[in-house]
Homo-oligomer: A and B are copies of this chain.
Amino acid sequence: MHSISEENYIKAIYHLQDGKALVSTNEIAGRMNTKASSVTDMLKKLADKNLAEYVPYKGARLTDKGVQCANQIIRKHRLWEVFLVEKLDFSWDEVHEVAEQLEHVQSIKLTNELDRFLEYPKHDPHGDPIPDSNGHYEQHTQIALSQIELGQHGVLTGVVNTSKDFLQYLDKHDIKLGSQIQLLEREEFDGSCRIISDTDEIYISKLTAESLFVKI
């Protein structure tokens, strides 16, 4: 179908184009650790294949066909992440690199059977939604833990910070997707919070509270 390189560009543009009319060559180069000239070459190719609209000197954006393609890659990536964490005991911070490889395996049957085997998960281990076989997904109403009211509780559904250090910090405190979280107290002067995660009472910083998303 498409080369691994093409797929990686499609994915990068998809993640960058959120809202924006056009994504610039340099933005793509930055995200992919490549040079602008390489990006230009690929944008022409993606435009030829009707996967992206490309306006020289202005940037590019995925066509509907390109978005569809991106959704399938993301679907595979996130399903594999669920598999690695739930079945193979990987931790949050270890899955990405391997999922980057697995997402390029071409077999519609493989993807759909994996989906079934995992019992049609709606979100990956970071809380990001998993598109179904038609590319559709529900963006759940999540709110940052730093935004909810005192005493309120919710279920951890996602994180915005996916750095290794942060994910390991969460693991250490046994804060995981699906954890029941209640906000007990918030210090006004520094925004730090006292919360209950499942049964443990812990203190978290403002930055952490802003990085955790819950469904209320």
Q: Which residues of A contact B (CB under 8 A)?
A: 84, 87-90, 94, 97-98, 101-102, 105-107, 109-110, 113-114, 116-117
Contact = CB atoms under 8 A, between A and B. Distances in A.
A101 B87 CA distance: 20
11 contacts: A88-B110, A88-B113, A88-B114, A88-B117, A90-B113, A94-B109, A98-B110, A101-B105, A101-B107, A102-B102, A105-B105
B105 A98 contact: yes
Given A88-B113, A88-B117, A101 B94 contact: no
Contacts of A110: 84, 88, 98
A105 B97 CA distance: 10
A82 to B, nearest CB: 14
Nearest to A106: B101
A89 B113 contact: yes
A106 B104 CA distance: 13
Given A88-B110, A101-B107, 6 more contacts: A87-B117, A88-B114, A89-B113, A98-B109, A98-B110, A102-B102
Contacts of A113: 88-90
Contacts of A116: 88
Nearest to A84: B110
Contacts of A84: 110
Nearest to A113: B88
A90 B113 CA distance: 9
A84 B113 CA distance: 9
A56 to B, nearest CB: 34
Contacts of A94: 109
A122 B117 CA distance: 23
Contacts of A88: 110, 113-114, 116-117
A87 B83 CA distance: 12
A114 to B, nearest CB: 6
Nearest to A105: B101
